[in-house]
Structure formats: C-alpha cells, structure tokens
Structure 1
C-alpha cells in the first residue's frame, strides 16, 4: 500500500515504485487525496483510495479540524487494510500519507517512508521515529536526527520509466553553429517569475549565442500571451504552452534547463544528464528547494540563483558561464549525469520487499540478475555519460 500527498513531487516516485512492484508480481494500491486521485500519469493498474487528511496548523480551530480529519482517515485506512491486507505500507510524504502510516503502526504492519527532498518533510518528521526504514534521495538530509541513522537507506528518487530510458542516449550534438535548445518550466502550472525574467534575460545574451536559441517554455495561462509578445519582440523563436504531455522528449532535446529545483525535477535532470539554471522556490517548506540544488551545483552540473537575485542581467550572466562554449555545456551535462541514481526505483523496491515481501517472491520475481544488482551497487562517481561526439560503442571519459 502506497500513501502520498496529491502533488507530482510525492506521486511521481510513488507511481514509479508501484510500476516496479507490480512488475515483480505484487498487488499495489494507493492512498491519496482528491488531487492525487486525478493527477495525470497514474498507472492504470493502480487503484486510488481517497481518505480524509487534515493539515496541522497553529490556529486552534484549524488544528482541531486537522486532527479530527487525520483520525477519521486513520480509521478508514484500518478498514481498508482489513480487505487489502498489505504486507508493507510506504509513505511518500504529504498530509494524506499520515493517516495511512498511523494506521499501519496501529495494525503492526511494517512501514517505510521515502523522503524526496534534501530536507526531511513535516509529515516524515512526525513518522520517522515510528517506521521500520527511512529511504532518502540525498546523501545528506537536513532535519534527519542522528538517532535514526541505523534505519536510513540512501536510494535516490525514482523517476518515470520514459525519462530513465533517456539516460542511455547521448547529449544532443552541439557546436558553435548548432541550435541551442533551452527548456523552461516552473512546475505543473509554470511560474510567473520565469515568464517575467527569462525572455529578457535570453535577449541580453551576446548575439552569437542569442541567434542560435530555440526556446520551449511552460507558462501559466494568464502569462502566455505576454510571454509570446516578449519573445516575438526579441526575435527569439519560442514554443509556449501551459502543459506539455511529451515532457520527456522535450527534455531529451534540450541542451539547457531553466526552472525550479523540486525533487522530481532534480531527479530527472540528473537521470538524463542535463545542465541547469535553477531558481529555488523561496516559499517552499523549510527552503527545501535550495537544499535540493546544492549537490548538483557543487558537482558543476547547475547554477543556482536566488529568486531575489533573479534578474535578466543575472540570468544572462549565469547562462554565459555555463553555455557560452559548447564544451562547457557538455561538461556540465556530464557532471549532472554523474549525480544521477538510475537504480533508485529498484533499490527502493528491494528495501520494501525486505520488510513486506513473501519468500516465494524471490522465486517468481521477474527482472534483475545478480550481475545487474552488483552493477547497480557500483559508486555513482564511476559512471560515464555517452556523448554525441563519441564513436559507436564508446563513452566520454568521466
């Protein structure tokens, strides 16, 4: 049984794990909220159960309502467990996960939480001391108490299968005459700050770089026409939309990403190996998006700009630092690729099965051989990224 909040950041890794567990022969179900039950990308085999889940605010009235909803959700989860009989409950954060995990502890069902961000989320902090294991996406996670160290497992952040497939593909060919493809997104609904700054920032690039640009940008509906007019005024070709269903293919074509640093965004960038200019969302809980960006920035795969400093001039400066020369952009792509953890979903599934699998599953499991498992355990630093310039069967050096 998976339990997750109704946002893409919680549900994308949950969907990836559900697909892997189903492939291994398990029955899987999901507990979420109304948003999560409707979100695009849910596997067709995965039934979704909507349970009450209140938020724990500081206002006494809101706190009472939140606790009552959580208690009601817990009771409903216990009734659901009687029929589904889960061997393990896995929480991905968000308040909708809380009743399910509390019910699991009451019913003495093994439980695991997965933290997608570099800061332990509020619900996962409430549950960390009670669960059997804590799976993390980063080597260092803030607000993760030292007393829980024995049950922490760093597995990474599962990504969609179609994105993971792109890891095998070379970085798009780029030289000083090539079209430079820039992908700009701000989450599921875009971000107005990107619409305001990015067109003018790209227009400030040196002519030799600006004239090669081809932009794909996701915008809020209310920003769409204004952004279109800005690009037209700057004579920069741009494809704009409020939602792109084929985001994986657009990421495959991109040479540079500009956007937020949510957990799923970072996981997909590093899975594919794409350099980035990151603008962490300043109102994100515990400033977790800034923490998410740090490892990739330190590795040389990205540049981060605080939103308060995110101006057209600063953006143009950072793009030139990472993309003025084709080899610099390729090196940044290589650094991003080396930060990826492509075995995250398999490692998380292995962890879950260690608590909730039946012995017979070891016999009927379809998939990884011992050799594949050994390869998955190899250090990320030893990974190599193929490039478009490499000859057939060769890879670029680390």
Structure 2
C-alpha cells in the first residue's frame, strides 16, 4: 500500500512551468499523496490547472532595474523564503520540486535550509536560470531532452532523463489515429503562440495562407490563438481572404483542437513541443528569438531532426516561406502522416509517471555505505 506523503511543487506562473507541474500533481494525487503549489499570482490563477490543490502565493522579485531593483528583488526573495519555511513547518513535505521561474528559488532555498529533499525539473533543452542557480544543491535534476545544455559536467550523476509531462487530456490523443486526410478533404490548421500568443504568427500566417493555390486554400479550416491586441486585425484579414478561421485569445479546449489538427503552426515552447510529440502532430515551428539562451531553437532541434517538424527562424518567417513549407507538407497526405509518426516517436508518454517515481524516491530510506576512501555516501535502499 502506498504511504501517503506531502509534496510541494514550486513553479513560475507561465504555461511552460505550470503545465508539467500540474501533470505531476495529478499523478502524485492519484498515488494517494497530498500536494501543495507555491507560485506567483499568475500561477495560482492559471485556468484549468491545480483544481483541488492547495495553493500559496509567495513574493519572488526579478533581479532587474539596477541596484534599486536588485535590492527590492532580494527583499521579496527573502520574504518568499520565510513564507515557504512557514508552509514547510505545518505541511511537512517529504520533498520540494522546482519547475523553474522566480517563485521556485525562495521555495527551494527554504527547503535547503530545512534539510528537505529537493529536485528540479527542466522543461527546455537549455537549463534555465533558476535551475542553474540551484542545480548544485538539489538532490536530483530531471531533464526533458537527451541533449540539455548548460548542465555542468560535475552534475551529470544527478541528472535523470524524464521527458516533459503533459496533461491527461493531451496524452489521451496518443491512442487516437492521425485525422483522416485526403486530397479533397478539409485541411485543419491550428495556430498557437503559447499562453501569451505571438504577434508574428498573426502578422504572417494569414498572408502566407493567402499565397497557397486556390484549391488548397478553400480546403483550409483554421483555429488561431492570437494576442488580444492582434485578434481583430487577424480576424479581418482571414475574412478578406475568404479563409474559414476561428480566433480566440485563449483556447481552454486546446487538446480537442490538437486532436483534429492536421498541421500545427506554433512557437517552440517546451509545453508545445511536449504536446506535439505526445499527440503525434506535425508542425511548422517558429522559435521565439528573444527566449533566454535561445532555448526555443534548442527545443525544436530533436523533433526537427526526426522529421516531425520544420523549423523556420523568425527572421526568415515570411508569407512566401510559410506558403512554400505548407505546400511541401499539405499537398502530400502521406508526407503529413509520416511526419506525424515521426513527431510521435519523439514523445515521452511516461514522463509524469517517471517523474513521480523520481520524486517518491527522494523520500526512500537512505543508507550510508563506505566507498573507496572510507567516506560514507548516501544511496537509496
């Protein structure tokens, strides 16, 4: 019988951090454990995630704005650390797991001081800033890619290749076949820029689709997630081109749209890549050039090498380039199905379960065994 334990998950308030944390929370809850979330104000209000999970907002300043900004951030981090320490005093977690983002830092710092076991999960193909700061002190580092940059060689022994957990509703798509497509049927396109949207997609995609052959263009059915400041112009553009399109600033039923999409045009955020590979959907990816350490380009590397996606740098993302790539894929149903299979092969459907196993193992009994020099080391029993 599973022994009930308490776990704290700490994550910044963006979809890239929150979605895998929510997937782990679901898995740990299924196993009979209790979970608490530590995040910022955005994270605890993230729609559709962490229902029934106790949540805690802690301050976590960003180190920006010169000396004054740094002093304010340090003060907020210290306050957040104290609040996390008080939570641990009453909740008594077996382990604290960080998913990146500034709120994870004070939460993990408090865990170090309290002697609580810790782990971090890195969603991107480049170890993030906060995870780099704490990597030397945590007990385990879970990664999502075989090649994860910015991991120091001395830390390799604590690295575990896990993958990036996705929601159950997305994982369920893995058991469903790629949507039937013939040369005359409706061609469904999903356009998404992640939780924040992407202006470049609203600017380029409608004009790119307009350059497709008329017969192909008439088959299109587009669902487009756009930023609030871009949505009206994009809607008018689609209407003027007579392209069937539904637009929204947020897609709460994204798994449903992903399920029937023949092609996805998207940024290359970690959650997007994880969902594409879980469901097995081909994509045209446009990495965000301003992403820290250019991590979105790194994220896209594996699925692109495998043949499940085509990556276009934003500097080269023009209507004509998009139209060219669309025709290469869209006019050949067999090529699309092949790309879908290759994307699926990159998926890690056991990621949530494997991450839960790792987190549970942090609380396993530890035995000190002598090694070579006679100094003890800790191993899991």
Answer 1 or 2: which has greater strand percent.
Answer: 2
Map of 2:309 onto structure 1: 302
Map of 1:215 onto structure 2: 222
The yes-or-no answer on 1:72 pairing with 2:103 is no
Q: Is the 8 A contact 1:87 1:357 kept in 2?
A: no
Structure 1 residue 280, shift from structure 2 partner? 0.6
Structure 1 residue 153, shift from structure 2 partner? 0.3
Map of 1:138 onto structure 2: 145
State how 1:90-169 maps to structure 2 within 5 Å: 90-169=97-176
Map of 1:170 onto structure 2: 177
Map of 1:224 onto structure 2: 231
Between 190-199 and 292-301, the greater mean CA deviation after superposition: 190-199
Map of 2:328 onto structure 1: 321
Q: Is the 8 A contact 2:14 2:195 kept in 1?
A: no
Distance 1:50 1:112 in 2: 20
**Residues 199-241 of structure 1: CA distance to partner in whole angstroms, max 9, x if unpaired?**
1101111233222111111112222222122112211111111
Distance 1:188 1:310 in 2: 21
Q: What is the Cα-based RMSD across aligned positions, in Å?
A: 1.3
- The 4+ residue runs of structure 1 with deviation greater than 4 A are none
**Residues 106-140 of structure 1: CA distance to partner in whole angstroms, max 9, x if unpaired?**
11110000000001000000000000000000001
Q: SS at 1:113's partner residue?
A: strand
Q: SS at 1:181's partner residue?
A: strand
Q: SS at 1:308's partner residue?
A: helix
Q: SS at 2:230's partner residue?
A: helix
Distance 1:315 1:202 in 2: 8
Map of 2:46 onto structure 1: 39
Structure 1 residue 357, shift from structure 2 partner? 5.4
Distance 2:325 2:257 in 1: 22
Q: Is the 8 A contact 1:203 1:234 kept in 2?
A: yes
**Residues 347-390 of structure 1: CA distance to partner in whole angstroms, max 9, x if unpaired?**
0000000012589xxxxxxxxxxxxxxxxxxxxxxxxxxxxxxx
Say which of 174, 194, 203 aligns to 1:196: 203
Say which of 5, 9, 20 aligns to 1:2: 9
Distance 1:258 1:270 in 2: 14
State how 1:11-30 maps to structure 2 within 5 Å: 11-30=18-37
**Residues 315-336 of structure 1: CA distance to partner in whole angstroms, max 9, x if unpaired?**
1111122222000111100100
**Residues 244-264 of structure 1: CA distance to partner in whole angstroms, max 9, x if unpaired?**
221111110100000101000
Taking structure 1 as the reference length, the TM-score comes to: 0.88
Between 82-91 and 316-325, the greater mean CA deviation after superposition: 316-325
Map of 2:5 onto structure 1: none
What runs of 5+ residues in structure 2 fail to find an aligned partner?
Answer: 1-7, 367-381
Q: SS at 2:231's partner residue?
A: helix
Say which of 47, 52, 62 aligns to 1:55: 62
Say which of 281, 284, 289 aligns to 1:277: 284
Map of 1:185 onto structure 2: 192
Against the structure 1 CA distance between its residues 333 and 249, is the aligned structure 2 distance closer, same or farther, given a 3 Å change threshold? same
Map of 1:89 onto structure 2: 96
Say which of 358, 361, 368 aligns to 1:354: 361
Distance 2:365 2:217 in 1: 58
Q: SS at 1:120's partner residue?
A: coil
